[in-house]
Amino acid sequence: MAYTYDDQNIFAKILRGEIPNDTVLETEHSLAFRDINAQAPTHVLVIPKGPYATFDHFAAEASDAEIVDFNRAIGEVCRMTGVAADRGDGYRLIANAGADGVQEVPHLHVHVIGGHMLGRMLQPAR
Ligand code: AMP
């Protein structure tokens, strides 16, 4: 089955400059901005500029340059926000996908979350 992408999602609108964002980092192929509903002292979203809905979509169809840029942007955000494991106390990366992943915005985004103890990774489904 082919991947699809809805260009009316809110992160596509941010990339087109139609709505504002609190940018942390912009690179050739990626944008990082603060989550509007932060769940921790550091909560930044890193997105590719290309039209990819999920991580698996990105991994399948993005160019090597986009993939390298995106991964380096995530690492740079960790350093810029002070949570990087070499100097800070660490962080968690989350990339929700699809219905079971409870993905709200259908444009790939990696949450960089840190700044305090985050607790266990998952809560059991109810
Ligand atoms: P997810 O459930 O992984 O799709 O997460 C979507 C995230 O996007 C949530 O943490 C929202 O708080 C965040 N979000 C939604 N709209 C905006 C926006 N305009 N600017 C920044 N973050 C947003």
Q: Does pLDDT of 124 surpass 80?
A: no
- 104 CB near ligand 1 (under 6 Å): yes
Measured between alpha carbons, how far is 116 from 101 in angstroms, rounded to an integer?
Answer: 23
Predicted confidence band at 67 (pLDDT cuts at 50, 70, 90)? Answer: very high
pTM value is: 0.96
**What's the CATH superfamily of 23-114?**
HIT-like (3.30.428.10)
Phi, then psi, of 33 in degrees rounded to 5: -150, 160
Helices assigned H by DSSP within the chain: 10-15, 55-61, 64-80
Ligand 1 center to 36 CA (angstroms): 6
Sorted by where each begins, the domain ranges of the chain are 23-114
| Statement: residue 77 has pLDDT above 70 | yes
Sheet with 91-94, side-by-side order of all strands: 23-26, 30-34, 42-48, 110-114, 91-94
Is pLDDT above 70 for 126?
A: no
Residue 35 near ligand 1, beta carbon < 6 Å: yes
Give distance in angstroms: CA of 106 to centre of ligand 1. 10
85 lines ligand 1 (CB under 6 A): no
> What's the rounded Cα separation, in Å, for the pair 33 and 21?
6
DSSP, collapsed to helix, strand or coil, labels residue 65 as: helix
